[in-house]
Chain A
Amino acid sequence: MCIGSALFILLTRNLMYAAFALFVALLGVAALYVLAGADFLAVTQLMIYVGGILVLLIFGIMLTQTPERQEATASNRVEVLSGRRFWGFLASVAVFCLLLFTLLGSRFRLGGDTLTSRSTLRTLGVELMTSHLLPFEIAGVLLLVALIGAAYLALNRNPSA
């Protein structure tokens, strides 16, 4: 279901359909997390991606679609030099096969005790505040930089322009 809807996003030309397909794909990923025993990740996925980002995305699509421009369903091809298409396709297929081969050829080990504990939430919280404290805090710097940058780039200081 997840792969199918992801493919649908790629192939559809309607932005709205793509957004709804993304909804299905994200739900599918959340379900995969549950099956893998990562309950916290699954809940976060549901809340942030499905609940937050996707709603934002759909609002964005609805608000930006002006009636005179019904181009959402029209073809939206990027012009590329056709000479590279064959080699590009070949290279990506080769990389895909290589990765597929690697993934199929290896067996995944399961970290023993994670499955036995009932909830990962407690360990996650403790880990974040002890052993992973530094990256957790420094991620704040990253977000700050991104925030300043977004504000700076989006701000129009020259109203006449």
Chain B
Amino acid sequence: MYPIVLLSVLGIVVLFLGFMKSKSVLLPATLLFLVLALASNFIDWNQGKVLYFYEMLAVNNLTLAFNAIVLVSAFMIVAMTRGFQDQEEAQPAEYYGIMLFSLVGAFMIIGYEHLIMLFVGIEILSVSMYILTGSDKSNLRSNEAALKYFLMGAFATGIMLFGIALLYGATGSFNLTDIQSYVSIQGRGVSYILYAGLLLLLIGMLFKVSAAPFHFWTPDVYDGAPTIFTTFMSTIVKTAGFAAIFRLLSHSFTPIYSFWWITLAAITVLTLLVGNIIAVYQNSFKRMLAYSSISHAGYLLIAVTSLSPQTENAILFYSLAYSIATISAFGVLMLVSKKKALEGQVDESYAAFNGLAAQNPLLAFVLAVSMLSLAGIPLTAGFWGKFFVFGSAVERGLVWMLVVAVLMSAVGIYYYFRAIIAAYLKEGDIGKIRIAPFYRIILVVATAMTILFGLAPGIFEKLL
């Protein structure tokens, strides 16, 4: 609860700081605000389930842990922006302000107890993302991506709202607990309108996390947006979106599990297939990461579909592992692509990494670890993430889905290793890349976390 209030106010403070002559105060101020929000997040720790603001918002250890993941990812991403010093047209105050506000949206959809909160939160998150996607105004691809994202996102929101309205019509309440008691009393006898509402609501939410039949915007938007905001989108929006879907399904709709699991299972398998197979054909590393984010949405959906007692842990760990690995992968990409930039056109293909290891052993190592983690190779956090997800699927007995998932992660190894091969085995003329000290620290910390959680995943479990 506290981070929501805090960041709403501090976002405005950041905007006002933007009026000052010196832009250099913005980055430390934003980082400080994020740390403050993280600290305030833990005030509610271990209090059990607490409801705030007339049952608008629920807080328990799970939502706090999700909040913490989002805040840590945001901290790393903001640190990697380096105050947008190298871009003349950039407006750091606006960017940071919008980023902080979008975090408010993320917290709302992580801990909502009322469907109106879900709607407002998703809107804050998406509107911020539309703006950040189009923030590079001189770049045609960025503009195209923003417009595409906006139009499709607006339709998805409309569908979601329709779903919420139908749910209200069926149950007479927006409150998740009320809906849950209605559904459990009625059992299988609930009216069709509830089913339709749930489906439409799920479609809207699955769109936001780019699950398969609703994934068409993802590659173009991730590709077109400035890389730093792509990182923001692919980590924070995804973590928060899955927290929201999990909350909805595990809290309100467990009594009609037999109805929605088939739909979700079909979407999961489709997401896995589409994400992994199309990723193989990509030549651009950034676009590959976009498809890889679709496929990771598929793995997370396995956990949601199986909905066993292990699920919440699995989703939590997986989103953490995925976020850290993605942030470091994009971090390396940003440095390399800027170095290889030709006439202002950045090079984001696999070939940009050719010969990276020769002069920049650190960057190559960071890239390799993040790729291994995304591919789910043992000794990295990604392996345990997949392990927990698959474990929850086994508990539910979804073996056939597991077979698809394992096959698809084998496919994933191919395209993730292409980057490693380019960095270590191919010849290239990439020079020494200068890394700012703070940037280096963030990359090293992210890599260290990936390996630490890979060696000892138990640390994390004990924390909860």
Seen from chain A, the residues whose Cβ lies within 8 Å of a Cβ on chain B are 98-99, 101-103, 105-109, 111, 130-135, 138-139, 141-142, 144-146, 148-149, 152-153, 157-158, 161
Chain A contacts for B98, CB-based, 8 A: 145, 148-149
Q: Do B192 and A149 touch (CB < 8 A)?
A: no
Bound CA span A103–B196, Å: 9
* Pick from A103, A111, A146: contact of B193, CB under 8 Å: A103
Question: Cβ of B135 < 8 Å from any Cβ of A?
Answer: yes
Q: Do A106 and B192 touch (CB < 8 A)?
A: yes
Bound CA span A102–B117, Å: 26
How many A-B contacts at CB < 8 Å in the complex?
Answer: 91
Chain B positions 1-30 with a Cβ under 8 Å from a chain A Cβ: 4, 8, 11-12, 15
Question: Cβ of B97 < 8 Å from any Cβ of A?
Answer: yes
Q: Do A101 and B127 touch (CB < 8 A)?
A: no
Q: Do A106 and B191 touch (CB < 8 A)?
A: yes
* Pick from A105, A132, A144, A157: contact of B116, CB under 8 Å: A132
* Pick from B55, B97, B108, B169: contact of A148, CB under 8 Å: B97
* Pick from B11, B89, B101, B196: contact of A157, CB under 8 Å: B89
Question: Cβ of B137 < 8 Å from any Cβ of A?
Answer: yes
* Pick from B89, B105, B172, B193: contact of A106, CB under 8 Å: B193
Chain A contacts for B110, CB-based, 8 A: none
Q: Do A148 and B124 touch (CB < 8 A)?
A: no
Q: Quick one: closest A residue to B137, CB to CB?
A: A153
Q: Do A152 and B91 touch (CB < 8 A)?
A: yes
Bound CA span A146–B125, Å: 11
Bound CA span A161–B138, Å: 10
Question: Cβ of B114 < 8 Å from any Cβ of A?
Answer: yes
Task: Using known A-B contacts A134-B53, A148-B97, determine if residue A101 contacts B117 with beta carbons closer than 8 Å.
Answer: no
Q: Do B192 and A138 touch (CB < 8 A)?
A: no
Minimum distance in angstroms from A50 CB to a CB of chain B:
21
Chain A contacts for B135, CB-based, 8 A: 152
Q: Do B131 and A99 touch (CB < 8 A)?
A: no
- Contact string against A for B residues 32-60, beta-carbon threshold 8 Å, 1 for contact and 0 otherwise: 00000000000000000000111111000
Task: Using known A-B contacts A108-B169, A141-B104, A145-B102, determine if residue A101 contacts B192 with beta carbons closer than 8 Å.
Answer: yes
* Pick from B120, B130, B169: contact of A139, CB under 8 Å: B120
Q: Do B137 and A106 touch (CB < 8 A)?
A: no
Q: Do A146 and B101 touch (CB < 8 A)?
A: no
Chain B contacts for A130, CB-based, 8 A: 54
Seen from chain B, the residues whose Cβ lies within 8 Å of a Cβ on chain A are 4, 8, 11-12, 15, 52-57, 89, 91, 94, 97-98, 101-102, 104-105, 108, 114, 116-117, 120-121, 123-124, 127-128, 130-131, 134-135, 137-138, 146, 166, 169-170, 172, 191-193, 195-196
Q: Do B56 and A111 touch (CB < 8 A)?
A: no
Q: Do B120 and A135 touch (CB < 8 A)?
A: yes
Bound CA span A108–B120, Å: 26
Q: Do B8 and A135 touch (CB < 8 A)?
A: no
Minimum distance in angstroms from A77 CB to a CB of chain B:
18
Q: Do A145 and B124 touch (CB < 8 A)?
A: yes
Chain A contacts for B192, CB-based, 8 A: 101-102, 105-106
Q: Do A146 and B127 touch (CB < 8 A)?
A: yes
Chain A contacts for B54, CB-based, 8 A: 130-134
Q: Do A102 and B53 touch (CB < 8 A)?
A: no
* Pick from B8, B134, B195: contact of A138, CB under 8 Å: B8
Q: Do B8 and A149 touch (CB < 8 A)?
A: no
Chain A contacts for B57, CB-based, 8 A: 134
Bound CA span A135–B104, Å: 12
Bound CA span A103–B170, Å: 11
Bound CA span A111–B174, Å: 13
Bound CA span A11–B267, Å: 35
Bound CA span A101–B121, Å: 31
Chain A contacts for B4, CB-based, 8 A: 138
